[in-house]
Structure 1
Amino acid sequence: MIGQKTLYSFFSPSPARKRRAPSPEPAVLGTGVAAVPEENRDAAANPPKKAPAAQEEPGTPPSSPLSAEQLDRIQRNKAAALLRLAARNVPVGFGESWKKHLSGEFGKPYFIKVKVVILGQDPYHGPNQAHGLCFSVQRPVPPPPSLENIYKELSTDIEDFVHPGHGDLSGWAKQ
């Protein structure tokens, strides 16, 4: 068909990332030699050696230098940070009822790693069908016509594609 592309035509290899060189130490004016304070010259010339790791029995997890209370606090802080991050991903002006209904989707680990977005404008055909993923419906709701069209296109573009028989795209989101 004129003006249409296959799904594969939208993908290209990601460009190689350049590593940044570490910033050089400030040099003593006119000498080209890094400035090292007098008290640190010996330490700079002879960096301290790493202490050997403590011998532990194989198969046992390494012991943590943190107490159980500290580990618990770390977990709580991490959970709070993830909630704040999820809240930042919610679009401005997003209705509170929608935010409440879809908060679980915004908080999933794959949400911040999204690489492909499927856009569409077809409305859902019944109540309680939307669950945070475009075109997706929870089982046992049959796939909407727009998703059936996506499945047909995938069948023509991808040789081994098999219609899954349902409309739940959660598996795609997790990939």
Structure 2
Amino acid sequence: MQPRIPRQSTRDQAAHRTDDHRGLDVEAAAALAAARRRAVRDGDRQIDTAHLLHSLLEHDPRVRSVFDGTPQSARLLGYLVQRSIGYGLRWQSAVEDSGALPVVTAVEGFSPLAAAALEDARARAGRRGRGPAGGTDLLAAIVADPEARAVEVLTHVGVDVYELRGRIEAAY
């Protein structure tokens, strides 16, 4: 039986827009590149907010600092690793889109929520007026929609997402 949603090949992934990193700082751009590699490696159709969350935790020390001192930080990383080695299979046949965010122009290779989060992160940075969007801008954007897979992951490990949003705003 053929999968209902075709998977991305490495060649297809390379054809994606080259300006995805536009308006992102070095750490956020590295996290985006890692999320793309993770999605391709895992055979996922699109980069979703959980891919972004996982990669931000790996590549951005400011994002890690938001979770420092929380008892859930180790559980969060463990859960994300489990997802990347097979837990996420239940998500492979569905596109991440809650319908709660305004429609964003489709970006090939990204779930609608991940594409919206990238645009929101850039807009947050623009409103701040301090240069390109950083990982904390992207983190704030990916946890803004309660239906995002990243929010599902965070909730599963016991992170209070409302408190997390407050910590992000207070710190950055």
Aligning the two structures, in what range does the TM-score lie when normalised by the shorter sequence?
A: under 0.3
Query: TM-score w.r.t. structure 2 length?
Result: 0.24
Query: TM-score w.r.t. structure 1 length?
Result: 0.24
**Structure of greater Rg:** 1
